[in-house]
A = this chain, B = another copy of it.
Amino acid sequence: MTDSIQARLDAAGIVLPAAPAPVAAYVAYTVHENVVTVSGQLPFKDGALTQTGLCGDSVDADAGYAAARVCAINLLAQVADACGGDLERVQRCLRLGGFVASTTDFHEQPKVVNGASELIGEIFGDKGKHARAAVGVAVLPLNASVEVEGTFVIA
């Protein structure tokens, strides 16, 4: 793929927000050697959650997918910050951890977390191919429907 990351962001209609601030006593990411560990991101957009509630209850898989995509946009914003604004420095997404607030009869966590995984693939191509764990949790901070954390290798 020869497109620039910026071109792919544009194609996806994504304007990266300012990297969201953590909601508590920690930082948004750490860097050790060339690995960036990004804190769990909630589906914040313009300072508000785009989706709250449990998947399987008030939230269906499509709405969960959309929320996971917003989480991934925030992951990108954090990684961009770690890269001094230059996402071309990303060498690989190593892993995403996806937590889906779920009723006990909702089993489509993979489909929901794909909202994050597919965005990472869209933007980074082969460098976006990551390992993943996706699980259904009882509830998330601020009643968010999805939380996604990630680790990335940067140059």
Per assembly, the copies of the chain total 3
A137 lies within 8 A of chain B by Cβ: yes
* Residues A110 and B141 in contact in the complex (CB < 8 Å), given A117-B24, A130-B26: yes
Determine the distance from Cα of A113 to Cα of B103 in the docked complex, in whole angstroms.
23
In the complex, chain B residues whose CB is within 8 Å of the CB of A101: 136
Interface residue ranges of A75-119 to B (CB < 8 Å) = 92-97, 99, 101-111, 113-114, 117-118
Q: A24-B110, A37-B94, A111-B24 are in contact. Are A136 and B129 (CB under 8 A)?
A: no
A131 at the interface (CB under 8 A from B): yes
C-alpha gap A60/B85 in the complex (Å): 41
In the docked arrangement, what's the CA distance between A40 and B95, Å?
A: 10
